[in-house]
Amino acid sequence: MSHPAADGDRRLQDHPLLGALPDAPSVHLTFDGRAIAARGGEPIVAALLAAGVRVFRTMPVSGEARGGWCMVGRCGDCAVVVDGRPDVPACVTAVADGMAVGTQHGHGGDDCDLGAAFAERAAGDVDGDDR
Ligand code: FES
């Protein structure tokens, strides 16, 4: 049987098929200034969801809230701002200690090309320096 942690961490601690959550180093990040504890190596989106954050971007025209959809780096619904850089896909970008993550409101900037940013990451350019 699966059990959530008792301390507010929403991760499953004992998955019925995958077993117990393995040990991982603790890292700390912030989301819109809020301190969040994360497991080293996990995607940003995992840390946000485990901390109860459900919205991490808003749409450019409608302003509708988004909190990820595909979770495999394809749709763009999880784009966040990381250390001042927009268009970072939270679902396929690993947390790092001290990382400052923020809600992305609308486009990432005047030269935003979210499709290109995500395509680069899908091709293995995890830091986006080929843009
Ligand atoms: S949730 Fe679709 S790209 Fe991250």
- pLDDT at position 104 is 96
Interval between CA 72 and ligand 1 midpoint (Å): 6
Structural domain containing residue 87: 24-122
Residues 55-78 pLDDT 10s? 999 998 999 999 999 999 999 999
Check which CATH number belongs to the domain holding 84 and give it.
Answer: 3.10.20.440
- According to DSSP, residue 106 is labeled S
> Is the residue at 84 inside a domain?
yes
Return the ∠ at Cα 25 (arms to 41 and 28), rounded to 5°: 80
Write out residues in the chain with pLDDT < 70, as ranges.
1-7, 110-122, 124-131
Show the ligand 1 pocket: residues with CB < 6 angstroms. 68-71, 73-78, 89, 91
- pLDDT at position 124 is 67
> Is the residue at 1 inside a domain?
no
Query: For the chain, how many structural domains are there in total?
Result: 1
Tell me the two tokens of residue 113: 């090309």
> Is the residue at 13 inside a domain?
no
Pocket test for ligand 1, best of 74, 88, 101, 114 (most atoms within 8 A of CB): 74
Interval between CA 18 and ligand 1 midpoint (Å): 23
- Selection from 45, 42, 64 nearest residue 54 by Cα: 45
Return the ∠ at Cα 50 (arms to 31 and 94), rounded to 5°: 65
- pLDDT at position 10 is 85
Q: Which amino acid is at 53?
A: V
Interval between CA 125 and ligand 1 midpoint (Å): 16
The predicted model scores a pTM of 0.81
> Is the residue at 127 inside a domain?
no
Q: Report the C-alpha gap between 82 and 32 in whole angstroms.
A: 10
> Is the residue at 12 inside a domain?
no
Pocket test for ligand 1, best of 44, 49, 70 (most atoms within 8 A of CB): 70
